[in-house]
């Protein structure tokens, strides 16, 4: 669990830094038109970076700090839901899907693993 959360922390800190410092690069890489309000995209980068700090702190004791993992996991569920909702309304191009792969989907199994361990640990303590 420690390794998973530390990897998630480093990834989120790097991704957040990249989006804040180089906000148009993602759009250049995907061939998408840059957004009009760069500050909103940079704000997203800041939020993702802050998640990285939370994951790092949670890595010291994932069972104790499971709410940080749970909130992160919910973001990794609701982000794709929001994308598909907006994609089917033709409000976001498909190229934006690439962010879901590295920001959300690859973390589902590791975060589920951590949350299941928390669940089993608390079940055991209740007996």
pLDDT digits (tens, 9 = 90+) for 78-110: 999 999 999 999 988 898 898 899 999 999 999
What are the tens digits of pLDDT across the range 36-46?
Answer: 899 999 999 99
Q: Give the per-residue pLDDT at 47.
A: 95
- Residue 112 CB-half CA count within 13 A: 8
Of 106, 88, 109, 84, give the one whose Cα is nearest residue 97. Answer: 84
pLDDT band at 115 (very low <50, low <70, confident <90, very high): very high
Separation between Cα atoms, residue 80 and residue 14, nearest integer Å: 21
**Two tokens at 68?**
């940080």
Give me the percent of the chain exceeding a pLDDT of 90: 76
pTM of the predicted structure, to 2 decimals: 0.87
């Amino acid at each position: 669990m420690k390794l998973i959360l530390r990897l998630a922390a480093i990834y989120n800190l790097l991704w957040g830094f990249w989006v804040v410092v180089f906000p148009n690069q993602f759009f250049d890489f995907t061939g998408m038109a840059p957004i009009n309000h760069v500050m909103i995209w940079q704000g997203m980068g800041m939020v993702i970076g802050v998640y990285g700090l939370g994951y790092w702190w949670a890595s010291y004791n994932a069972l104790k700090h499971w709410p940080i993992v749970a909130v992160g996991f919910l973001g990794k569920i609701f982000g794709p839901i929001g994308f598909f909702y907006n994609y089917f309304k033709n409000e976001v191009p498909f190229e934006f899907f690439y962010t879901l792969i590295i920001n959300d989907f690859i973390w589902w199994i590791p975060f589920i693993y951590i949350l299941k361990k928390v669940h089993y640990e608390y079940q055991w303590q209740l007996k």
